[in-house]
């Protein structure tokens, strides 16, 4: 078993996909509710609440993984639920916060095409990710539903300083800086949207969310920017978070021994053969185990 710190975990690029573990019949002891689809689970969880802010988190998929990618579930099943909820704004962590990117998003929403009005273009920024196809699909799906995607990530200058460096996946000190930059970017995106007075959703890495806030603090005592915790404290019952845990993406956790960090060490028992098991963790958090 390879052991990597949670900081390195978040930014580690794995080129060889890991086969999913076999099913286990052991009971987890946690209360689960089974649904046939992700959309059904999210719709049910929101039925008796009216949160102003809903955040969705993923374990960023490994390079080479093409199975059960979270962004596909979000685009195809969750965006229609958000539209029905009246939520028409979504910030996305992997789209950088830059005026040129904002202009390109304007162009995309007007024309349905990626433009070339800035360097680097929105397209060049998006396609560096292993799941860029799903990110592009999310953009087109959102546009078709009348939902506006907003940048929720770091700036171009911060990216050049950190994630575009050759050693960004091996330099732990640099990994901490990347972590802080993304935390600050998420909080900034949330504050910009809160200022509009509209309900909105966020899509990002789940390590920034309230249900891992204590473990983030243990790993980075100097960090107080966990924006899931910040939003939960600010909004109370008007905040909700959902974490995508599809079988095909959990190889990342298994690979680097970070199961306990994310609080899902019993995921084998929680994973259904098919469909979705919904588990509530705390007042605001919903874990979606997708078979």
Model pLDDT for residues 165-221, shown as the tens digit of each residue: 999 878 988 888 888 899 999 999 999 999 999 999 999 998 899 988 877 777 766
Q: What is the pLDDT of residue 206?
A: 87
- Give the domain extent around 215: 6-290
Q: Is residue 1 part of a domain?
A: no
Count of structural domains, the chain = 1
pTM of the model: 0.85
Strands laid side by side in the 276-281 sheet: 33-35, 276-281, 285-290, 239-246, 53-58, 200-205, 89-92, 148-151
Q: What is the mean pLDDT of each run of 10 residues along the chain (291 residues)?
A: 37 34 44 96 95 93 70 97 98 94 93 77 81 93 98 94 89 87 94 98 92 76 78 96 85 57 76 94 92 89
Q: What is the pLDDT of residue 27?
A: 46
Q: Is residue 96 part of a domain?
A: yes
Q: Is residue 283 part of a domain?
A: yes
Token pair of 145 as six digits: 């539903």
Q: What is the pLDDT of residue 223?
A: 62
Contacts 24+ apart (CB under 8 A), 78-85: 78/38, 78/39, 78/42, 78/242, 79/138, 79/141, 79/142, 79/145, 79/147, 80/39, 80/145, 81/39, 81/42, 81/43, 81/46, 82/54, 82/147, 82/201, 83/145, 83/146, 83/147, 84/43, 85/46, 85/199
Q: What is the pLDDT of residue 240?
A: 97
Q: What is the pLDDT of residue 261?
A: 66
Task: Classify 112 in phi/psi space as left (phi over 0), alpha (psi -120 to 50) or beta.
Answer: left
Q: Is residue 137 part of a domain?
A: yes
Q: Is residue 134 part of a domain?
A: yes
Q: Is residue 208 part of a domain?
A: yes
């Amino acid at each position: 078993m390879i052991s990597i710190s949670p900081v390195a975990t978040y930014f580690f690029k794995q080129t060889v996909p890991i086969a999913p573990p076999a099913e286990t019949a052991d009971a987890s002891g946690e209360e689960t509710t089974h649904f046939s689809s992700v959309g059904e689970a999210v719709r049910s969880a929101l039925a008796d609440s009216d949160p102003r802010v809903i955040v969705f988190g993923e374990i960023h998929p490994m390079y080479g993984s093409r199975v059960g990618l979270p962004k596909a579930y979000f685009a195809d099943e969750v965006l229609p639920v958000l539209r029905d909820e009246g939520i028409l704004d979504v910030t996305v962590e992997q789209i950088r916060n830059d005026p040129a990117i904002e202009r390109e998003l304007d162009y995309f929403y007007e024309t349905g095409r990626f433009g070339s009005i800035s360097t680097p273009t929105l397209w060049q920024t998006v396609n560096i990710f292993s799941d860029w196809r799903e990110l592009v699909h999310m953009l087109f799906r959102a546009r078709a539903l009348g939902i506006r995607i907003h940048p929720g990530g770091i700036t171009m200058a911060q990216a050049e300083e950190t994630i575009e460096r050759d050693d960004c996946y091996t330099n732990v000190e640099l990994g901490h800086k990347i972590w802080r930059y993304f935390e600050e970017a998420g909080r900034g995106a949330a504050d910009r949207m809160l200022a509009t007075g509209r309900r909105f959703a966020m899509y990002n890495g789940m390590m920034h969310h309230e249900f891992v806030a204590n473990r983030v603090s243990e790993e980075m005592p100097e960090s107080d920017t966990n924006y899931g915790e910040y939003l939960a404290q600010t909004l109370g019952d008007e905040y909700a978070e959902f974490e995508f845990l599809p079988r095909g993406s959990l190889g990342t956790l298994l690979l680097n021994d970070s199961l306990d960090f994310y609080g899902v060490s019993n995921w084998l028992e929680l994973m259904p053969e098919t469909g979705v098991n919904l588990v509530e963790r705390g007042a605001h958090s919903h874990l979606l185990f997708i078979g």
